Structure 1
Amino acid sequence: MQNDEIHVSSENHLVPAASLAVPTVLAPVTEKERIAVLDVIRGFALIGIFLMNIEFFNRAVGELGEGMPAGLTGLNWLASYVIAYFVAGKFWTIFSLLFGMGFALMLTRTETKGQNFLQPYLRRLFALAIFGLLHHILIWPGDILFSYAIAAAGLLLILFGKLRWIFLAALLLVLCAMIPLLNQVGAIAMALTLLAGIAFLLRTETTVKFFGKNLPITAVVLCIMGGITLLLSLGGFLIPTMKILRGAIFSAGFFFLLAFILARSFQPKEDRPWKIGSLLYCTLFISMIIGGAFEYWGGKEISTAVNKAKPKSEHVVAASATSATGDSSQAASASIPLASSETAKRKAETAEQKKKELEREKKKEADNKLEVEILTKGTYLQAMQFRAKEFAENWANVTIFSVLINCMFLIGFWFVRSGIMDNTQAHLPLFRKLALFGLPVGISLGIAGSLITTAPVKGLENDPFTLATGLLYLGNLPACLGYVSVLVLMFNSAGVLAKVKVLAPYGRMALTNYLSQSIICSAVFYSYGLGYYGMQRAHQVVFVLIVVILQLMFSHWWLSKFRYGPMEWLWRAVTYWKLPAFKV
């Protein structure tokens, strides 16, 4: 088998890509084939998504990701804090995990029954993308469905795509991005390159003899890169003019760590999806934490240097610094112009960067104000035009986000392909470990970030937002796995905890309930509805509770009469290209 063929199967995750093209019609899943615990998890995740989304029916969607709004007190602050650090970020990751599980379930069924997978799944993604596009433009711009459709297309490339064609497509898109009208496709090129890299990590069987051990070629390349950056870092310490390269020592350590992890992830092959998915997810946010830490704590050194320089001229500072070498006359005369030119260059670069950042902030602030004005005073047509314009300007950014989503897809994919979700009862020790480790670690990282932002270190002038955000997002992965594990444990328990199964019908109608939440909120909060825009955060929680209870009751009633929710039935009709039976 070549490296660019698919690596999935029922037992060891390896089957040739040709098995996907068996011309047998794929049929909708039957009631017996459903995994009930997944419906429970999906229902629970939908509640968390609603708690997070409702804030941005009362706040500009452009502020998504900017943290808690300033000025909150009392119950409003408490509600916002709990949702920000116990809910936000933990539930879209759960949905991503579930999406990867759904992908694996559908693929496994096609293998077992000898049915076609690729064609119906592409129709499924096309329908989801259309649902997401309409949801974004007609109802609410915080949609996630379009992102999932794009991300799932990326998963198809990771598992089934020819690597050389993916890289070639990325190269062509880079060339297209040089055309001003097409510069957005540069984001797609970057995403394709990252997806191809993930595919290579999952599929490669090439090993290289390195220090007496057979290591995957990716780990060897990282070791070489680590060695090069280590040499650069040493040069930065030895040669003053290479001071800027001193930070390379941290990069060297990072490369060596990745090489070690990849070497450990190489075998067994069937475990690669969760290992690679977890590694890439954590790498992204650990890098963010490191960068944010340098940006934050580096402010003390910069601030001190600036304060010391204020009462002196640049010439005096340079002369005093170089006189310590013992050759004040020649060293001072040589270093003064160099220091002056470097300082001027840094100031110019910093000024230009700040100017661009200020322009971006002003545009974003203006867009947010316009959004609030339209939603509080405008018409439905104006709101729809604003959302369509916003989508046209930012659609390419979804492709970058899809790479992050695919990390979670791969973890969910492994949970199903390993057989764990088919028989959760037999794997309860694993779920206990994930719950005991995931929740405390995941939640604690987010709270640590909140403490950094609310109690900054005295004397540091830089913004700790990047550091805090990195901690929060890094914690989302273990917290997500912890929540899922708690639900699995409750599902398999006896007594009152087993009542969590009441969420199963709610989860079976997740698409219908998700879209209806948006319809309800737009009808209540926007100016072309009841106009209650700006509801307080604590009241939003009560609103969510009431709507969820009503939806839960409706889901139980509906599924007693019909096999699927309305949107689920339509989605299946497009996926399987026939009308499924509707009534029970």
Structure 2
Amino acid sequence: MQNEIEFLSADRSDSTGSQVLAPVAAPERIAALDVIRGFALIGIFLMNIEFFNRPVGELGEGMPAGLSGLNWLASYGIAYLVAGKFWTIFSLLFGMGFALMLTRSEAKSQDFVKPYLRRLAALAIFGVLHHILIWPGDILFSYAIAASGLLLILFGNLRWILLAAIVIGALAAIPVLNQIGAVAMALVLFAGIAFLLRTDRTVNFFGRTMPIVSAVLCVFAVLAGMLSVAGLLIPAIKDLRFAFTSAILFLFLAYLFFRIGESKESRPWKVGSLLYSLLFIAMIAGTSAEYFSVRNTSAKSEQATQVVSEKDKRKAESAAERHRKEVEQQQKKLADNLLEVKVLTQGSYVDALQFRAKEFAENWAHVVIFSVLINCMFLIGFWFVRSGIMENTQDHLPMFKMLALYGLPLGIGLGIAGSFISTAQIHGFEGDPFYPATGMLYLGNLPACLGYVSLVVLMLNSTGKFSRIKILAPYGRMALTNYLSQSIICSAVFYSYGLGYYGMQRAHQVVFVLIVVILQLAFSHWWLSKFRYGPMEWLWRAVTYWKLPAFKI
């Protein structure tokens, strides 16, 4: 999460004479990234504090029930203006830092992969310790895993990646190892992203040269179109009429991938934004179809009974079994949430430690899958730096104005529109409308994230009072220290082995965040007037470069 841009600068050689990484000098820093990071850290805190007063297991379930007045307003504002928008900003910044480090290492012929792997290993350890010792809502471990995936995407051998996926997938068939199946799935997806970014292969399809991916999608579209025509003409296969929708989708994707292949330099942002958007468009479409299907099924069940075939019976039995498993999973999740509340409001620190360790062991595989989504944002941030935009934002102000003007209303508007459908999950309700509403919220996070970043850049480049936002730069330079200290402060205030204020009202949480941020901001300014790095940033660099960097100014 912290300042990847400080990674290297001066030429320096190791004992073998090869170039190695060195911290970037102050004049080489991109100040905008520090300010954006400080701005995003405030949003992260506003979102995270809720889950120091509510089970982390309820993350993603929407607004809690029973709120009113200022508590409802605070919860709604954070849910639709903040939540989801700021982890995407951090992901964007991480991708920017990766690209900046890579660009500078290439320019100076310095080693890149080994120091970066040490950096990721340290970040993963910080994340695991943060999760188990302090708070299970950690994001550091997720970023370490995701950035490892980015290394594979940009530098990995596709054949070896796929071979590893096959081997790991086979091992996942062993019951005690079934969780590693998530790793195999992630590797396949990383290989697919890498292929889209790297391939220059084209084919001639009906007299038009196009990327091989577009050609394959066009073939699928033609086949789906033929099936849809057959479904219209032959009543016995009327179910295949749905293929018409598939044909349109394949043609649309073929066009998008055709546009992706036009410029290799612009592929990272195109692939990242396309895959991110397609995931949540599919979520909206699929959950909406399920919602209306359940409603139609309920309506039909009230009609007169009719003869049910054996095939229909088997389908019903399969659906019933699937529903039973879903209910069992939901009951286990609710029990875990109740246990978490009990441990954090009545238990000792050792009880909390055991609970978080068990939770990490059971759910680490979810992080691996989530890392694929994070990489979509990494790729967009990667392009922002490789294109030269972030190193000279003044020359690109029209682009930032457009992103702020259209991104914020579109991104925030999608979430608010979804809130009119549903704001919270309904447990045990099949075809819950909360899921398509959540898809709309998540889809909007991407344009909103770009809009917020652009707004900060515009403020920094203004000459009036808005330029004072630069005060956040030291706060962003110490983002890792401040992020972890936020967790330490919250656990000390809210948990039973601290002051025991668990369950603080949502409006009061906002005031609490404001007070802590002001104190942290003042501390960051004071600390960086005396030291080169924040405490955790210094430790991170020591591991990265495998030597103790200078600390005092």
Bin for the TM-score computed over the shorter chain: over 0.9
Counterpart of 1:465, as a letter, is F
In the alignment, is residue 350 of structure 1 matched against residue 319 of structure 2? yes
In the alignment, is residue 495 of structure 1 matched against residue 445 of structure 2? no
CA distance in 1, matches of 2:529, 2:438: 44
CA distance in 1, matches of 2:451, 2:101: 25
TM-score, normalising length: structure 1: 0.90
CA distance in 1, matches of 2:330, 2:457: 44
Find 2:110's aligned residue among 115, 129, 141.
Answer: 115
CA distance in 2, matches of 1:583, 1:479: 39
Question: C-alpha displacement at 1:454, in angstroms?
Answer: 5.8
Where 2:551 maps in the other structure, the secondary structure is coil
CA distance in 1, matches of 2:347, 2:239: 52
Q: Is the 8 A contact 1:58 1:534 kept in 2?
A: yes
Report the CA distance shift for 1:131/1:231 in structure 2 as closer, same or farther (over 3 A): same
Structure 2, unaligned runs of 5 or more: 1-15
- Identify the residue that residue 313 of structure 1 maps to in structure 2: 305
In the alignment, is residue 138 of structure 1 matched against residue 130 of structure 2? no
Counterpart of 1:546, as a letter, is I
In the alignment, is residue 579 of structure 1 matched against residue 540 of structure 2? no
Q: Is the 8 A contact 1:374 1:382 kept in 2?
A: yes
Q: Is the 8 A contact 1:303 1:461 kept in 2?
A: no
Counterpart of 2:87, as a letter, is W
Question: C-alpha displacement at 1:287, in angstroms?
Answer: 0.5
Report the CA distance shift for 1:380/1:455 in structure 2 as closer, same or farther (over 3 A): closer
Report the CA distance shift for 1:447/1:398 in structure 2 as closer, same or farther (over 3 A): same
- Identify the residue that residue 504 of structure 1 maps to in structure 2: 473
- Identify the residue that residue 210 of structure 1 maps to in structure 2: 205
1:21-63 deviations in Å (ceiling 9; x for gaps): 9931110111111100000000000000000000000000000
In the alignment, is residue 265 of structure 1 matched against residue 265 of structure 2? no
Where 1:93 maps in the other structure, the secondary structure is helix
- Identify the residue that residue 175 of structure 1 maps to in structure 2: 170
Q: Is the 8 A contact 1:207 1:214 kept in 2?
A: yes
- Identify the residue that residue 57 of structure 1 maps to in structure 2: 52
CA distance in 2, matches of 1:390, 1:241: 50
- Identify the residue that residue 414 of structure 1 maps to in structure 2: 383
Find 1:285's aligned residue among 255, 280, 297.
Answer: 280
CA distance in 2, matches of 1:46, 1:22: 40
Where 2:420 maps in the other structure, the secondary structure is helix
Where 1:287 maps in the other structure, the secondary structure is helix
1:154-179 deviations in Å (ceiling 9; x for gaps): 00000000000000000111101110
CA distance in 2, matches of 1:501, 1:134: 32
In the alignment, is residue 438 of structure 1 matched against residue 430 of structure 2? no
Report the CA distance shift for 1:389/1:243 in structure 2 as closer, same or farther (over 3 A): farther
Counterpart of 1:553, as a letter, is A
Q: CA RMSD in A?
A: 1.6
Find 1:517's aligned residue among 465, 486, 491.
Answer: 486
- Identify the residue that residue 334 of structure 2 maps to in structure 1: 365
Q: Is the 8 A contact 1:563 1:582 kept in 2?
A: yes
CA distance in 2, matches of 1:253, 1:543: 51
Question: C-alpha displacement at 1:482, in angstroms?
Answer: 0.1
**Range with greater deviation from structure 2 (390-399 or 92-101):** 390-399
Q: Percent identity?
A: 71
- Identify the residue that residue 325 of structure 1 maps to in structure 2: none
Counterpart of 1:219, as a letter, is S
In the alignment, is residue 32 of structure 1 matched against residue 1 of structure 2? no
CA distance in 2, matches of 1:234, 1:505: 63
- Identify the residue that residue 433 of structure 2 maps to in structure 1: 464
Structure 1, unaligned runs of 5 or more: 1-20, 316-338
Where 1:208 maps in the other structure, the secondary structure is strand
Find 1:166's aligned residue among 147, 161, 166.
Answer: 161
Counterpart of 2:212, as a letter, is I
Map residues 317-328 of structure 1 onto 2, 5 A cutoff: none
Question: C-alpha displacement at 1:112, in angstroms?
Answer: 1.4
- Identify the residue that residue 87 of structure 1 maps to in structure 2: 82
Question: C-alpha displacement at 1:239, in angstroms?
Answer: 4.0
In the alignment, is residue 252 of structure 1 matched against residue 247 of structure 2? yes
Where 2:28 maps in the other structure, the secondary structure is coil
Map residues 513-552 of structure 1 onto 2, 5 A cutoff: 513-552=482-521
Report the CA distance shift for 1:581/1:286 in structure 2 as closer, same or farther (over 3 A): same
Find 1:97's aligned residue among 92, 95, 108.
Answer: 92
CA distance in 1, matches of 2:172, 2:237: 34
1:45-100 deviations in Å (ceiling 9; x for gaps): 00000000000000000000000011110100000000000000000000000000
Where 1:270 maps in the other structure, the secondary structure is coil
Question: C-alpha displacement at 1:113, in angstroms?
Answer: 1.4
Question: C-alpha displacement at 1:214, in angstroms?
Answer: 0.9
- Identify the residue that residue 393 of structure 1 maps to in structure 2: 362
Question: C-alpha displacement at 1:495, in angstroms?
Answer: 1.5
CA distance in 1, matches of 2:247, 2:442: 24
Question: C-alpha displacement at 1:313, in angstroms?
Answer: 3.4
Q: Is the 8 A contact 2:414 2:443 kept in 1?
A: yes
1:128-172 deviations in Å (ceiling 9; x for gaps): 000000000000000000000000000000000000000000011
Q: Is the 8 A contact 2:423 2:434 kept in 1?
A: no
Where 1:32 maps in the other structure, the secondary structure is helix
Question: C-alpha displacement at 1:234, in angstroms?
Answer: 3.4
**Range with greater deviation from structure 2 (340-349 or 431-440):** 340-349
Whichever of the two has the greater Rg, that structure is 1
Report the CA distance shift for 1:181/1:243 in structure 2 as closer, same or farther (over 3 A): farther
Question: C-alpha displacement at 1:461, in angstroms?
Answer: 8.0
CA distance in 2, matches of 1:35, 1:229: 50
Question: C-alpha displacement at 1:243, in angstroms?
Answer: 4.3
Where 2:203 maps in the other structure, the secondary structure is strand
CA distance in 2, matches of 1:296, 1:397: 25
CA distance in 2, matches of 1:532, 1:440: 37
CA distance in 2, matches of 1:343, 1:555: 65
Question: C-alpha displacement at 1:228, in angstroms?
Answer: 2.1
Q: Is the 8 A contact 2:63 2:424 kept in 1?
A: no
Q: Is the 8 A contact 2:36 2:456 kept in 1?
A: yes
